[in-house]
Chain A
């Protein structure tokens, strides 16, 4: 009797194992290939346009849709371009190869960055629209911020994780390094986006952040709770690939007037008009 029980048990076990093996083999899924759309890009079609695409890069998504829309509906109509894309991918991805291949026809970047990544950058890109400099400061919840160990003791400092950000990472980190601050690296908190950084600062989760005054919440921040990091940081310039027909330089430069309010919010330098004939 016990022999029959063992036999039944072994038989069921073997059958179950075989069933699972077969099921695992027969039900194996085919690998899926996903076509990922770029999440940091906007596109539009030029009315009655051709096949070419005008690719633009800017280090922010502000006004990206507005610029694309203006180019598609006005500036590039009848130009031969049939499509416009505006990308605000992380600046780390704007590497030398991307620039060499002129993947972007119109780009907003700083001169030092462009020249640092590309020897004789002017051979490929020409300056289309220079822009003024701006001020970056530490914003604090405590009064009279100072670059001293006493002030920085136990401060929770928020920074941008993007190492290519001049205002949110490079200058603040450089200044902290110069003054050997803070005492503990654990006091530094890195954020993916400016919005999250500002939200945590306003919520009291952070004591000190680097920022520009463009944010409405910081516009009237008390001056005795600010500490200037730099007054004249370049905001960057607009560069145009030399592949783009020269005839389009002026219309494109004019289209960039769209950014006047944005730039003037962070600098007192007047917005210069596009230097081309009317």
Chain B
């Protein structure tokens, strides 16, 4: 579900604030602990040293000092901090931990748990625990403030997306799009860059401005073109069709339609004139596909298919085929070589006119298991073939 901008801004602010809360808590905790460490280490060693000057037994003196230090209280000097409640010192103990510089007594504690220092060649250590409890309202307010400022900075600072949009806007302005329209068009083109070429083609074909073409494409009453639709639109425009006709081609469902009266096929709504004989061979293959017949196995090179030769000759005669081709079919039957030549011409003419878009309307070639000869049939599904006038001609063959 696509939510509106308040949702997106709110979610972004929440995410930033959560990150900020974590960062602030970690940083705040570390800074208070470090400040306390520094403060304690500036004051405690001289005080301990002073307490030992007139002391007869260091261990007793340290134990006595530990008891006294339990009475220490902490108060924030300038009011409480924002992130934490006033800190509580829950432990502060002194101990003698071997000779200075020796590892006896273990490693030095982490800075938030204690510290060691040398005195008279001995190593004294203080261990403490400074309890810090986050203040929920303080954390929420400061992290919201910080998250809000960072979100604002994220909006104000230039981003690659906005940079590209700016580039689009300039590109459009150079091509004559008005500054008022450019931002909106730039935003839509950024999401679908292929549309600019499409619009440029459209503008050229429709002899209108790019702005008008973009506007027309953006608001035309059609469900939108997929990649294949855009390819068909580009092809139709390149072939010089009017803008609206080209758009009709682009939106046309896949179809192979025969218009023998006009000696053309209409592929995906795009009319295409073919030579007379290849057109009728194409028609003959389409008839077979439409009738649900399997692909036609090429006749053996030394034995033409006389029955199919007669049928094709009749088809050609009916639809104004070339006399020489009809005579050859009647005299010699359907020869493998003639069939190959006409299929190749169909393929060449379609590819030349349609490019890669021709492929779904061409032939499927397999090898016949029984004869080891090639078998050809149209790739296009039978229901997408139209304009077959005399399907009954094939009934005989189906019956045989």
Contacts and interface: CB of A to CB of B under 8 A. Distances in A.
Given A4-B163, A37-B72, A39-B65, A200 B28 contact: no
Given A32-B36, A191-B120, A193-B52, A23 B43 contact: no
Interface string A187-219: 000011111110010000100000000000000
A244 interface: no
A247 interface: no
Interface string B64-90: 110011011111111111110001000
A174 interface: no
Given A27-B83, A61-B54, A196 B120 contact: yes
A185 B119 CA distance: 20
Contacts of B120: 191-193, 196-197, 200
Contact of B54 (A3, A22, A60): A60
Which of B68, B77, B163 has the most A CB atoms < 10 Å from its CB? B68
B303 interface: no
Interface string A210-254: 000000000000000000000000000000000000000000000
A112 interface: no
Contact of B56 (A8, A14, A60): A60
A42 B64 contact: yes
B80 A30 contact: yes
Given A15-B154, A193-B53, A4 B76 contact: no
A177 interface: no
Interface string A71-82: 000000000000
Interface stretch (B145-153, B171-179, B355-363, B368-376): B145-153
B27 interface: yes
Interface in A1-27: 3-4, 7-8, 11, 14-15, 18-19, 22-24, 26-27
B65 A26 contact: no
A115 interface: no
Contacts of A162: 53-54
Contacts of B23: 19, 23
B52 A192 contact: yes
A31 B34 CA distance: 12
A271 B39 CA distance: 47
A30 B78 contact: yes
Interface in B192-217: none
Contact of B146 (A26, A36, A91): A26
B54 A89 contact: yes
Which of B51, B57, B64 has the most A CB atoms < 10 Å from its CB? B51
B71 A7 contact: no
A61 B159 CA distance: 71
Contacts of A19: 20, 23, 146, 150
The majority secondary structure among interface residues of chain A is mixed
A7 B53 contact: no
B35 A89 contact: no
B20 A23 contact: yes
B293 interface: no
A29 B31 CA distance: 7
Contact of A39 (B35, B60, B68, B83): B68
A36 B72 contact: yes
A36 to B, nearest CB: 6
A12 to B, nearest CB: 10
A61 B55 contact: yes
Nearest to B31: A29
Contacts of A93: 50
B48 interface: yes
B69 A195 contact: no
Interface in B109-167: 119-122, 142, 145-146, 149-150, 153-154, 157-160, 163-164
Contacts of A24: 27
Nearest to A160: B53
Contact of A7 (B20, B74, B149, B160): B160
Given A30-B79, A34-B39, 6 more contacts: A31-B77, A32-B39, A33-B77, A39-B47, A197-B120, A200-B120
10 contacts: A4-B160, A15-B150, A31-B35, A32-B77, A39-B47, A40-B54, A61-B61, A61-B64, A89-B53, A90-B53
Interface of B: 20, 23-24, 27-28, 31-32, 35-36, 39-40, 43, 47-58, 60-61, 64-65, 68-69, 71-83, 87, 119-122, 142, 145-146, 149-150, 153-154, 157-160, 163-164
Interface of A: 3-4, 7-8, 11, 14-15, 18-19, 22-24, 26-42, 59-62, 88-91, 93, 162, 191-197, 200, 205
